[in-house]
A and B are shown apart, each in its own frame.
Chain A
Amino acid sequence: MKEIRIAAMVAAALAVSAPAFAGATLDAVKQRGFVTCGVSTGVAGFSNPDSAGKWTGIDVDNCRAIAAALFGDAEKVKLVPTTAQQRFTALQSGEVDVLTRNTTQTLQRDTALGFNAAGVNFYDGQGFMVPKKLGVKSAKELAGATVCVQPGTTTELNLADYFRANRMEFKPVVIEKLDEVIAAFFSGRCDVFTTDASQLASVRATRTQNPDDYVILPELISKEPLGPVVRHGDDQWFDVVKWSLIAMIEAEELGITSKNVDEMAKSTNPNIQRFLGVTPGMGKALGVDEKWAYNIVKQVGNYGESFERNLGKSTPIKLERGKNALWTDGGLMYALPIR
């Protein structure tokens, strides 16, 4: 009966090794030596590969900030491009550790999908873009229009809600890949392209022959708070992601930039001393190096620097800070106290 004994042993070994995942993400990331972030397949300003294949954007900076906090090196990241439909499965299955991928935070995603939203790095709203030659001035005139939209997004749901609420009909043309859906819109298959207003600006600035041929309608039909998302089950990992983003905003509030961070380290302001790890404590509480925030600011920059570099006036996208200005400047960016 040797075979039976072997079979029983194998069965027992299998049963015992059923893994417990809680708390494992942070350990796995540390052991691996780099952070795996889910990013978009290419939205200029948020996450987009440049001509040399290097990814840039505020979502990429968000990912780099996490790596800087955890490893002291912002380069220790692996960026995984995901479509709107793939992203949640990629996060649920553990293919990526965190989504830094212009993802709207909603109750459904926070609960039923098993995620936690770790702060907001861009306040957005859904808009409509139409060719200028259609002569449309307002979204209220869009009754009967054909609308290009990506599937699996809040955009798709808001679109249906908006037309329902205004008793208008529409025909959706639903294509998964951003490149394909944009191509369908530019070819004239759709009258309207809808997505987050920032993305519309990005597409209009970087994908059109002549940006002036297209107008973005004034209505914003939804709130789209975009930010990093992690899966349930590892609160410590959630903390690291959450406070990495807060540190970028706090740095801007404190006036610390990648240029002046070494000088600021000599400051006598206790807030700054605590923030930069001159006074120890914060890093230990978070379970990372005391220099975590210093590393983020030094290697990635503060939130304002990241915004200007990727989306601001010096870029083709030319976005205003608007709601994404600091709260002291009339915006919504408000860092929780680091103490």
Chain B
Amino acid sequence: MATGTGNLGPPQRSAASRLNWNDPSFRAILYQIIVLGLVALTVWYLVSNLQANLKSRNIATGFGFLGLEAGFGISESLVEYSPASTYGRAVFVGILNTLRVAVIGIILATILGTIIGVLRLSKNWLISKVCSAYVETLRNLPLLLQLFFWYAIITETLPSARQALNPLPGIFLSQRGINFPVPAFGIAFDLILIGVALGLIGAVAFRIWAQKRQDRTGQQSPVLLVAAGLILGMPLLGWLLGGAPTEMSVPELRGFNFRGGASLSPEFAALLIGLIAYTAAFIAEIVRSGILAVTHGQTEAALALGLTRGQTLRLVVLPQALRVIVPPMTSQYLNITKNSSLAVAIGYPDVVSIANTAINQTGQAIEGIALIMAVYLSISLGISLFMNWYNKHIALVER
């Protein structure tokens, strides 16, 4: 404390004057200590009060319950789960379900939002008005209402499983969601996945090499063609190496439900559609503002230099627009993640829904809520960190 005052006061001072009540920096630090102490006291008071109350009512505490058998079923899970699994496992399933809807939602909302944002600037009167109407309607209706709407559309208008619509062979549309065939390739499936990964790495490597070559020699390489070839070709190679299997697991109505194939549940579909439709309206506005922020002179200058329309957009307009777009986009991505907790209302088993059930079965509300908060905080901070890194990456390098 005493050493801290040295920065603010004159460099040479005696020990007596340092602890002087008339020294403004000494007072400033003292006030801070008092405020900090009060905050600490309040927290201590609340925590000890809580502990005393929990104890006096004999309510169980601690995170030990995560190791106990959960005993309830979960309708959809990306990993193995049964009622015999633990609460910890159940919460993990919930986290994965939240991430699943958030990640897919972010990608699709960005695509849809960008298309709508660009189209809203279209010179075609009809297209731009339709997009304006979309934005103004969707972003002004409460999301919860929209979720109920989509869920009702799916469950009320689609036929029962026994009278499922069958638009394409093997694809069934019913109140149980969409059931579709998936390849049952066994080992070849893993090889295809490895192929995808290798293709992606190869494409990125080629892009870096092409950039360096262009810097060195001024010659351009067909990056897009090679990348597409790698990303499509490597999995194909994996499929051939795996013996080129063609077996499919096709859904089939047996008893009450479809067996085989894969499915998208109505709950997941309704939540995803609702989140995408709602957030895309905001993203469209962000994209539109970003594009409008780049003056028309930039485009004219680029065209005058002989760049094509595509190059102008890619090399001149977008890099500048992205600097305006990325920061507000981060908050939209955070919104999608947090809004996915409305899943509770339509029965999608996200982390809030599952943690709530765990709270109810064990009575440990404080631990459960702390868990939910920790999960959302981690996901949100992760998104923020990534977006901040990306923002820095694309920021204009000022010379």
- Chain A positions within 8 Å of B, measured between CB atoms, are 3-4, 7, 10-11, 14-15, 18-22, 84-85, 88-89, 92, 108-109, 111-114, 142-146, 151-153, 156-157, 159-161, 163-164, 170-177, 180-181, 184, 187-189, 191, 231-233
Contacts and interface: CB of A to CB of B under 8 A. Distances in A.
Interface of B: 30-31, 34, 37-38, 41-42, 45, 48-49, 52-54, 56-60, 71-75, 82-84, 152, 155-156, 160, 175-176, 254-257, 259, 266-267, 344-347, 349, 353, 356-357, 359-363, 365
B243 to A, nearest CB: 32
Nearest to B59: A114
B71 A146 contact: no
B227 to A, nearest CB: 41
Contacts of A231: 57
Given A10-B41, A111-B60, A151-B360, 13 more contacts: A7-B38, A14-B45, A85-B360, A89-B365, A92-B59, A146-B257, A152-B360, A160-B83, A164-B82, A171-B257, A175-B346, A188-B175, A233-B57
Return the 5 tightest CB-CB contacts between A and B, nearest first: A152-B360, A113-B363, A114-B59, A160-B83, A114-B57
Nearest to B158: A188
26 contacts: A7-B34, A10-B41, A11-B38, A84-B360, A89-B359, A92-B363, A108-B361, A112-B363, A113-B60, A113-B362, A114-B57, A114-B58, A114-B363, A146-B256, A157-B71, A159-B73, A161-B71, A164-B83, A170-B73, A171-B73, A172-B73, A174-B74, A174-B349, A181-B347, A189-B176, A191-B256
B34 A18 contact: no
Contacts of B58: 111, 114, 232
A257 to B, nearest CB: 38
Nearest to A171: B75
Given A174-B349, A175-B346, A92 B73 contact: no
Contacts of B56: 20-22, 232-233
A163 B30 CA distance: 65
B30 A3 contact: yes
A233 B349 CA distance: 35
B347 A184 contact: yes
Nearest to B257: A144
B83 A109 contact: no
Given A109-B363, A157-B72, A164-B84, A189 B155 contact: yes
A184 B155 contact: yes
Q: Is the interface of A mostly helix, strand, loop or mixed?
A: mixed
Given A14-B45, A173-B267, A187 B57 contact: no
Contacts of B356: 85, 151-152, 176
A7 B39 CA distance: 11
Contact of A160 (B57, B73, B256, B344): B73
Nearest to A157: B71
A111 to B, nearest CB: 7
Nearest to A6: B34
B149 to A, nearest CB: 13
Contacts of A20: 52, 56
Contacts of A92: 57, 59, 363, 365
Contacts of B257: 144-146, 171
A4 B360 contact: no
Nearest to B362: A112
A173 B256 CA distance: 14
A219 to B, nearest CB: 17
Nearest to B159: A188
Contacts of A233: 56-57
Nearest to A187: B155
B84 to A, nearest CB: 7
B72 A156 contact: yes
A7 B362 contact: no
Contacts of B38: 7, 10-11
Given A85-B359, A89-B365, A14 B41 contact: yes
Contact of B53 (A21, A157, A161, A176): A21
Contact of B49 (A19, A174, A184, A189): A19
Nearest to B258: A144
A74 to B, nearest CB: 28
Q: Which of B45, B73, B84, B254 has the largest number of chain A CB atoms within 10 A?
A: B73
Contacts of B176: 146, 189
B49 A152 contact: no
